[in-house]
Amino acid sequence: MKPRLRIGTRGSALALAQTGMVAAALERAGAEIETVIVSTPGDRSSAPIAEIGIGVFTSALRDALAANEIDVAVHSYKDLPTAPDPRLVLAAVPQREDPRDALCARDNLTLGELLPGSTVGTGSPRRAAQLEALGLGLTVVPLRGNVDTRLGKVSSGELDAVVLARAGLARLGRLDEISETLDPLQMLPAPAQGALAVECRIDDVDVEHLIRSTLDDEASRAAVTAERSMLARLEAGCSAPVGALADVVEDLDDDGRTVLRLSLRGVAATPHGDMLRASAIGNTTAAEQLGRAVAEELLDLGAAVLSGPGE
C-alpha cells in the first residue's frame, strides 16, 4: 500500500515550486501526495520582516505539522529559527541550489556598471550592509514582496536594480532576469540560502526514513549545518547582517591522500558598518564545531553578539 502524505507549504509561487520538487521526488519513491497550502503571518503582512519576528514564514507550518494537519513541511531553510523544534525532526536537506545572490538590474547592468546614486532594493540587512561596504555609492532601498513584485520595481523604473537569491529565480525558471550573479567575495549569502528543509513529526519514523532516503543530500546538510551553527553562536536572527557559505572541498591528509573537508567563510557587519571576516576548514563530520569556531573568530575580531528577528 502506498504511503499517503500531506505536504504543507506556503502559497507563494516560489514556495509551491519548491514543494513541487519535493512532492515529485516522493511520488517517484512511491508515495501518494496531497499539497496543503498554509497561510503564514509573513504572507499576510507587508511590514518589514524585522518588525514581524523570527519564524514568520515557518511557525504556522510547524504548528500544522505538530497538530497532524499535515505530514510533511517544506521550508526555505534560511527562514527557520536556529533553535530546534522538539516536536519535529529535520528529515532531509535536499541537494542545494546555487546559494549565491543575484543582481537584477535595468539594461542588464552589472554591479560595477551601476552609477553612484543608483537605487538598489533589498529587504535584507545582510545584503544592504555588504552592498554599502563595497563603497560604490549606491542608494540601498528597503524592499518587501514576492519575486514578481520586486522585479516589477526594476521594469517599471522605480528602482535601478534589486538583489535576490539566485536559487529562487532558478526554481521559478527566471534565470534570464539575472544581470549578474554576485561573487561571494563581494557578497556572502545568508546561512542556508538556496537550501530546503523538509520536516516531519519526530515520532513518524517511517515518514522520516522515506524522506531521508529519498531526498537527503549529505554534502548540502553538512554545509548548511556549519553555516547555521555559526549563526546560532552569534545569536543572530536571519535578518541580522551575517553571511556565511560552506563548501565541501578536496584536501590532502597527512599521508597525501585526497579527502573531503568542509570550508566555511563568514562575515558579520558591525553597528558602524565595518565588515568582519573569518574562515576555517574542518572535517565534514564536525560541521557544528566548524560553525562555532568561525563565530568565535568573528567575536574575537569585534563582532557584537547579535539578536534579530528572521529575514
Residues recognised as catalytic: 79
119/206 Cα distance (integer angstroms): 50
Q: How far apart (Å, rounded) are the C-alpha atoms in residues 134 and 150?
A: 22
SS3 58: coil
Q: In whole angstroms, what separates CA 75 from the centre of its chain?
A: 10
Strands 119-122 and 275-283 come out as unpaired
CA dihedral for 265, 271, 193, 212, sign (positive or negative): positive
- Grid coordinates representing 311? 529575514
- Quote the cell numbers at residue 117: 546614486
* Helices 287-301 and 218-233, axial angle in degrees (round to 10): 30
* Cell, residue 272: 558602524
Give me 3's grid cell: 504511503
CA distance 248 to 225: 12
Distance CA 224, CA 96 (A): 9
3-state secondary structure of 6: strand
Helix (H, G, I), strand (E, B) or coil at 281: strand
CA distance 47 to 145: 10
- N- to C-terminal Cα separation, the chain: 41
Taking alpha carbons only, the member of 145, 170, 167 closest to residue 156 is 145
Task: Give the Cβ contact number of residue 241 at 10 Å.
Answer: 24
